[in-house]
Every structure is written in structure tokens, then in C-alpha cells.
Amino acid sequence: MPYRRLPNTDAARIKALKAALDKGKTLPPFSLSFSQHSLRKLQAFTPAYEHALKLQKQSFEQQIKKNNLYKEALQKARLYISHFIQVTNLAIVRGELSSDTRKFFRFNGNSTTLPSLKTEKEVIEIGEQIIVGETERIRHGVTCVTNPTIAVVKVRYELFMEAYNYQKTLQKKNKLLLAKLANLRTDANQIILQIWNEVEDKYKDLPEDMKREKASQYGLSYVYRKNELHKVRFLETKQKDIG
């Protein structure tokens, strides 16, 4: 025998809510198979749920869209920071800059090893170190690092930070919308369960097949278990062969 299965996706919940809502719009109260109290809850809730779904979808799509621009800004910042450090190291090797130059950037004075720039955190920290350090060097009137200059590096760094902060804002917004949606899903489940229980109670004295048929018009979903489904298909096939 088929069993009732409550919706477990947003699309299925909306379908169930709208099926009941359509009945509430087309049938007079005395003909409706669930209570007016449930209908009022349904009418107030469904638009809010749909709106929340729309907002979360838009937020997620915007986050994905902006993520490509963010990745590009991150890659550019990483590249310019790396090039600046490499150029500084080469100038030190050639004797054009003192090895003490690295101390302004909080690097080991004798090491030519490039710092790791794999993570966002590392790019942010190292970028800030070289910008602050080179600005301090310039105040002392020493030879500036060029190709790239710190001004060019700073532009790329600030573009990255702008994209980084915006992306974090989008992520926070999407997280809040997801949390709100999770609460609304709980409310949707409760409303659907209440309506479905009322509908089935209305038709409880009817034969099972007729009860399911009537209830299905209100959006109730019935499915066969796997072993039952095989039997149903077998009987349908056998009936077709006979016919």
C-alpha cells in the first residue's frame, strides 16, 4: 500500500503549499477539506517563503558571479607582491640595495626565499608588510624599489582587499539568508503536515484508493515502497499483455 511522503526539498514544499492554496482560492469554506485556520496560515506564509527562496537564490548567484572577479584580484595581488619581493632580492644580490632592506619588510635579512602567498591571509599580511615597509624606507630617502613600484603594488593590493571585503559581505549575507530559510522550512513542514492531516481526516471513511485520490488533489504525495513498486509494475505489465 502506498504511504504518504512529506516534501523534502524547497521545490516540493512550494508545490505542496500552492496545491493547497489553489484549493483554498477555488473552493468555498464549507467545501474545503482543511480548516480556515490552516488556510489563513497558508495564505500568510507561502508568499514569505517564496520571497525568501528568491532572495537566497539571488544572493548565491551574485556571490558566484563576483567570485570570479575576486579570484582575479587575488591572483593579481599575489603576482605583484611576489614580483616586488623578487625584484628587491635581486637588487640586494647586485649590491644596489642593502640586505638591511629586508628588515623593513620584516623578512630575514639574509634569506632570499620568497614567503608563502598561498592563502588569502598570507597575501593580506605580506602585502601589508611590504607596503608599510617600503613607505617607511621612502621616508628615509633611500632608493625605491621599481618595476613594480610600491605604488603599483598598493593599487593591486587595495583592489584585492576591496574584492575580499565585498566577498565576505556577500558570504555573510548568504549565510543569514540560509539561516532564515532553514527556519522557514521548519514552518513550511509544520503547515504542510497540519493541512495534510486535516485532509486525510476529512476522507478517513472512504476506501483507501478513493481517499488517496481525493487527498492528492490537495497536494498530498503517496509513493510505493520498492517491493510494492515492483509488484505494481508487474501487474500493470501483465494487464497490458492480457489486453
Residue of 128, 139, 144, 135 lying closest to 91 (CA atoms): 144
pLDDT digits (tens, 9 = 90+) for 43-79: 999 999 999 999 999 999 999 999 999 999 999 999 9
**Range 210-216 average pLDDT:** 95
- How far is residue 118's CA from residue 75's CA, in Å, rounded to a whole number? 10
Asked if pLDDT for residue 230 goes beyond 60, the answer is: no
Determine the pLDDT at residue 235: 44
Euclidean distance between CA atoms 199 and 218, whole angstroms: 8
- Dump the DSSP string for 202-213: HTTTS-HHHHHH
Phi first, then psi, for residue 4 (nearest 5°) are: -75, 135
- In angstroms, the CA 117 to CA 21 distance is 55
State how far the Cα of 215 lies from the Cα of 203, in Å rounded to an integer: 8
Higher pLDDT, 2 or 146: 146
CB 23 within 8 A of CB 32: yes
Cell 624606507, residue located: 137
10 Å CB burial of residue 50 (0-12, 13-18, 19+) is middle
pTM recorded for the entire structure: 0.76
